[in-house]
Amino acid sequence: MQSETGAYYPEQPKTDLMVRQIELRPVILLRSCFRCGKEFRREEGERICPSCRAPKRPKKLSPRLSFREKQIIDLICQAKLNKEIAYDLHLTEGTIKEYLNRLFRKLQISNRTELAVWALTHQMHQVDECA
């Protein structure tokens, strides 16, 4: 039984040939999207469909913070005490504490040091970056 020696064309060369044909012909072909699997008209070697290629709504890296929360974070980064922050923002110390607790929960952190680190990691100070 030597029939197995006749198997010169297993899967691979066949696939290879198909790929080569696609590459040789710069025509519009239907392809399934590399990302979502949807069929689309392939142009210029695109592997993903137009809808996957289109810029998505920017992912929010950070939770939405209010202007006041940002102000407080900023002051925390300046190593200010609650009392000082309260003074700067014309709020009571109690209000500052409330804001901080809300921020801690929102950002899943437990103290002001972590808050400062969070702010630095999330590029809160984009304006100062040019320095």
Site for Zn ion, rule CB under 5 A: 33, 35-36, 38, 49, 52
Q: State which residue, 48 or 109, has the beta carbon closest to Zn ion.
A: 48
Q: State which residue, 49 or 119, has the beta carbon closest to Zn ion.
A: 49
Helix runs in the chain, H state only: 11-24, 50-53, 67-77, 82-89, 93-107, 112-121
Q: What is the smallest separation between the CB atom of 59 and Zn ion, expressed in angstroms? A: 17
Residue 119 CB-density burial (10 A; 0-12 exposed, 13-18 middle, 19+ buried): buried
Q: What is the smallest separation between the CB atom of 37 and Zn ion, expressed in angstroms? A: 7
Q: State which residue, 35 or 83, has the beta carbon closest to Zn ion.
A: 35
Q: State which residue, 46 or 84, has the beta carbon closest to Zn ion.
A: 46
Q: What is the smallest separation between the CB atom of 42 and Zn ion, expressed in angstroms? A: 11
Tell the residue number behind the tokens 């500052």, with chain if given.
96
Q: What is the smallest separation between the CB atom of 34 and Zn ion, expressed in angstroms? A: 7
Q: State which residue, 26 or 50, has the beta carbon closest to Zn ion.
A: 50
Within 13 A of 31's CA, how many CA atoms are on the CB side? 20
| Residue 100 token pair | 């901080």
**Rounded to the nearest 10 degrees, how much is the dihedral formed by the CA atoms of 129, 124, 86, 105?**
-160
Q: What is the smallest separation between the CB atom of 35 and Zn ion, expressed in angstroms? A: 5
